[in-house]
A and B are shown apart, each in its own frame.
Chain A
Amino acid sequence: MLYSLPDRLFKNMIIMQFDPFIIPFNLGLYFILIFVVTRSVIWFRELSRPDKLRLQRGFFGKPFGQSLKEIFLESLIHRKILKTNLRLGYMHMSLAFGWFLLILFGTLEADIFGEKHLNAPYKAIFFRFFNPDHGKTPFEEGYSFLMDLILAFVLSGLILAVTKRFTSKTVGMKKTTRLKRLDKVALASLWLIFPSRLIAESLTSGAYGTGSFLTGTLGSWFASFLPAKEVAYPFWWLYSLSLGTFFVLLPLTRYLHIPTELFLIFMRNSGIRTGDKAGTYSEVELHSCSSCGICIDRCQLSFSAGINNIQSAYLMKSIRNNEDTYDIAHNCLLCGRCDQACPVGIELSPIRMIVRRAGESENKYTNTWNGYFRSKQTLPVPKQAVKPAYDFLPETNPAKADVLYFAGCMTHRAPSMKNAIVSMLNASGQKWSFIDENGGACCGRPLMLAGKDKEARELINYNSQIIWKSGAHTLVTSCPICYKVFKESYYLDVEVLHHTQFIKNLIEEGSVKMNFLNKRVTYHTPCELGRNSGVYDEPKEVLRHVASLELTGFEDDNSLCCGGSLGNIMLSQANKRKIASDVATELTKQNPDYLVTACPLCKKTLAPVSKSKVADISEIVADAIVTPTYTKKNSQQHKKTVKVSAGIT
């Protein structure tokens, strides 16, 4: 009597292929499908017109193929994470790719072995429940083996994930992200999915003597002391419930990245970029962040200054949750180390800048429908003073010149560097003029970094006028901060050169002769010059020309920030110093004669904490310039010459 009810039930469901336990799964699945479709329609509608066209063109063109390839490599295999961290990559791969294979081969299994083709999704997911006899013939046995293998693959990743949650070092990570309560519920349901599938399948297999090496063995062991058929039933419920819960919570948690990342890849390959305002693309990026935590390990504020709540993963999360993002957005060096490491390719710094600019922007996204949707709101622009802020700047009439030199605020704080560049410009023999010899206006970049673009524009206009009036064709700047803004935000018809590029040109032309100094140097790449402007090679080539450059292991992409960055408005001097001394220790491990950099601010920041002498490239090069035994008359056109050089035509 006791067994008759389940027996009848089991017969029923085998014939009818239906059981109430599939309801949670079905509800969840159809909910998430409807959600994703609605969500993407809204996102598409909010795209700007050019972006819509880009997306359409991308969808019917070459980017489509690229996107498919990238989706396979990044969303399933997780190639980039594998490259940075093998164990973490394996964890992500086994869960994503394993689950994908489980669904793919599960669907095929239901299609091949099921009673008919094209089944409802639940028949594939709960295949063994509805076909407990499956697995008797050799072919079926082989297929069961394959399915067990995939399940074991997923479970191995799950074991890593669980251990990572408690000791992040097991997967080679120093820190892992902290979670909200809802995230924890979703995480628990995700963790339950695969073990409950394993147990449910094993018990059913055990009861019918089917299953392969995993489910079969475990099942026959269970069946030896349990009424397997009856015990299996609640586990099938658990499996379905955990799947359903996971699907329903997915839009509220970080797991929304699973569907969103696909959109991100398509949009990026179609040529859409973040821009400077909150919009669909930045929203898609926000939701594509899986909180993997790679940005936390890369962040110098984390490993040098011990600040562990401002990293990009947390920024993304608090924007998504509509929390106060002021501290997170402003306490950042904007060095771009996380941008480079992000395996999803989210443009993290531009998103941070959007938050910093929030006072000026008119778009804001807020959570609606209990957080299931975020909708765009147009906010009234805050009352702004109409008067220009820098109308006190005097009108200047610069001397006509071919080459202009803009030292910038920071170079004025490093006079030895300024003198070195002046001597170099003199040695070049070109007709040059010093724009801000007696101190000029700022370039505008510091205001931009603080999110005050409108005021920065005033300074940009002011400086542009001076440059136009001088009629120069080249603008040399010795500060990477200025270099970046001149290059990107000024609309000028001049060639903008950082002084290292200028020196490299001089060397290539052969117009300045240099000695090889018997000095060992290491090079610190300034963030604004390297990562943020892409000038990596010129400074190193110049250094190799005049001294022996030693590698430190922190080259190019892996370069460090000195800590003095103007990007961070909130960081205390003590913490800046901590970062700077960590960087100086790393870069002076080989006891070089000089720690060389290409930025006055880096120089000023590193100088007090470094055990080797800190110098700018220009100073080293000025030392190396060959002093001639005689002086030509025309080389004396600039009286300020520190060292007169040879080779002037």
Chain B
Amino acid sequence: MEKFGFTLSKARVIDYDNNDRRIVDFIIEREPSLNSCIECGGCSATCTTGNFTNFSLREIHILLKRGENELVRNKIRHCMLCGKCSLVCPRGVNTRNVVFLARQAFQKYDNYAV
């Protein structure tokens, strides 16, 4: 078959019942401003790390809220905590603390230092 660069993506279901919300609950309890995130992507646009990799804080926020922690865990260490994202956030989310707390939550619930 001729390949046109298109493939059928695998069927993917986000199962909110089975996904692990402990990490995001831990964060929101301590940093409620995460609730007001509108996923505008301003943080990803300005990100120092995002300049070098496909790291995106917006993606991380979404994945955390969905409870897809596996994907977050490997990426979150790439953040340099420089704080540019909190400067641009139009909703006043303390993004730096979100990353900081996420790392603590992984340490606490997964016993895995990230």
Contact = CB atoms under 8 A, between A and B. Distances in A.
Interface in B80-114: 80-84, 86-89, 92-94, 96-97, 100, 107, 111-114
Contact of A442 (B53, B82, B87): B82
Given A569-B97, A573-B33, A390 B88 contact: no
Nearest to B91: A573
Contacts of A447: 80-81
Given A409-B83, A413-B88, A385 B100 contact: no
A469 B77 CA distance: 27
Interface in A552-602: 564, 566, 569-574, 601
B113 A384 contact: yes
A385 B113 contact: yes
A392 interface: yes
Given A392-B53, A446-B83, A569-B97, A383 B113 contact: yes
A382 B107 contact: yes
**Interface residue range, chain A:** 35 or more
Nearest to A573: B92
A413 B100 contact: no
A613 interface: no
Contacts of A412: 84
Given A392-B78, A442-B82, A569 B96 contact: yes
B6 interface: no
A382 B104 CA distance: 12
A564 B87 CA distance: 9
Interface string B43-61: 0001011011100000000
B84 A413 contact: yes
B87 A459 contact: no
A119 B67 CA distance: 75
A392 B52 contact: yes
A392 B46 CA distance: 18
Contact of B46 (A413, A564, A571): A413
Contacts of B30: 570
Nearest to A445: B82
B114 A385 contact: yes
Nearest to A604: B87
B81 A450 contact: yes
Nearest to A565: B83
B80 A446 contact: yes
Interface string A437-456: 01111100011001010010
B80 A441 contact: yes
Contact of B113 (A382, A569, A572): A382
Contacts of A440: 48
Interface string A90-103: 00000000000000
A459 B81 CA distance: 12
Given A392-B52, A441-B80, 13 more contacts: A359-B107, A385-B113, A389-B78, A390-B78, A392-B78, A393-B52, A409-B82, A413-B46, A438-B51, A446-B80, A446-B82, A566-B83, A570-B94
Contacts of B53: 392
Contacts of B83: 409-410, 446, 566, 601
A572 B92 contact: yes
Contacts of B92: 572-574
Interface residues of B, number: 31
Contacts of B107: 359, 382
Contact of B111 (A383, A442, A564, A604): A383
Nearest to A383: B113
Contact of A450 (B78, B93, B100): B100
A20 interface: no
Interface pairs A-B: 9 shortest CB-CB:
A573-B92, A442-B80, A409-B82, A389-B77, A442-B82, A439-B51, A446-B81, A384-B113, A392-B53
Interface string A393-421: 11000000000000001101100000000
Contacts of A459: 80
A439 to B, nearest CB: 4
A452 B92 CA distance: 24
B70 to A, nearest CB: 15
Contacts of B52: 392-394, 441
A447 B107 CA distance: 17
A447 B78 CA distance: 12
B40 to A, nearest CB: 15
A441 B52 CA distance: 9
Contacts of B96: 446, 566, 569
A383 B114 CA distance: 9
Nearest to A566: B83
Contacts of B86: 573
Given A383-B113, A570-B94, A570-B97, A410 B84 contact: yes
A413 B97 CA distance: 20
A413 B112 contact: no
Contact of A439 (B48, B93, B112): B48
Contacts of B51: 438-439
21 contacts: A359-B113, A384-B113, A385-B113, A392-B52, A392-B78, A409-B82, A446-B80, A446-B82, A447-B81, A450-B100, A455-B77, A566-B81, A566-B83, A566-B96, A569-B96, A569-B100, A570-B31, A574-B92, A601-B83, A601-B87, A604-B87
Nearest to B31: A570
A218 B38 CA distance: 75
Nearest to B55: A392
Contacts of A359: 107, 113
Interface string A72-116: 000000000000000000000000000000000000000000000
B99 to A, nearest CB: 9
Contacts of B100: 450, 569
A569 B101 CA distance: 10
A543 to B, nearest CB: 25
Nearest to B107: A382
Contacts of A439: 48, 51
Contacts of B31: 570
Contacts of B113: 359, 382-385
Interface in A286-312: none
A604 B83 CA distance: 12
Specify which of B78, B83, B92, B96 lies most central, judged by the most chain A CB atoms within 10 Å of its CB: B83
Nearest to A443: B82
Interface string A252-278: 000000000000000000000000000
A441 B83 CA distance: 13
B82 A383 contact: no
B48 to A, nearest CB: 5
Nearest to B77: A389
A442 B78 CA distance: 12
A382 B114 CA distance: 11
Nearest to B76: A389
Contacts of A604: 87
A409 B78 contact: no
